[in-house]
Amino acid sequence: MKLKLPAGSFGAYLFDCDGTIADSMPLHYIAWKQALGEWGCEFDEGLFYSWGGKPADEIVADLNRMNGLSMPVEALSHYKEGLYFEMLPQLKAVPEVLEHILAQHGRIPFAVVSGGRRNSVVGSLTALKLLDKFDTIVGAEDYENSKPAPDPFLIAAERLGVAPGNCLVFEDTDLGIQAATAAGMASVLVPPPAERS
């Protein structure tokens, strides 16, 4: 399968990380299931994918509200990330996105714009040997309003010195596509693993 990009040329590419560059969503789900299971908290797989791009602290807080639980937000987020890091040797890149990274690297600037924390993004990109391809990383600690707000993408465009309308966003979630649209950016949706064969 090849990704169909919008027509025109772009001054920068902005990539989500999990599920877009890194085929990491299945590993994140395993980590969430284990971490939440210790609290007797269910996390439906469909809901997990629909919340793609949502910071871990927000996920725990929302699950607390939905289930009437009082799981420790920050501690559980860190614990879940630790479980994910243990699985990093299994991580693979999404081939259809990797193709565009390799084709355009060095021609235009790249940013990673993630709902994950910087250490998680760096861990994933290091495991994939792609960290040196990106000019900047915008992680959950860099903005107040997460996707679908445009803030994360606007910060990346500003750091790269490229007008928002001249950026192309690669995203795997509806939240991410909404954020790109709100930022005035063109976008391409990366299908989930089951639809990429």
Sheet containing strand 12-15, edge to edge, reads 136-138, 110-113, 12-15, 167-171, 186-189
Residue 146: phi and psi, rounded to 5, are: -85, 170
Give me the catalytic one of 16, 18, 23, 172: 16
Cβ atoms of 112 and 106 within 8 Å: the answer is: no
3-state secondary structure at position 14: strand
Q: What's the N-to-C CA distance of the chain in angstroms?
A: 6
Distances from the Cα of 46 to the Cαs of 17, 49, 50, 52, 72, in angstroms?
19, 5, 6, 10, 23
User: What is the rounded distance in angstroms from the CA atom of residue 48 to the CA atom of residue 177?
Assistant: 17
Is 44 among the catalytic positions? no
Exposure of 9 in the CB half-sphere (CA atoms within 13 A): 5
Q: Which is it for the CA torsion 179, 131, 143, 22, positive or negative? A: positive
Active site amino acids: 16
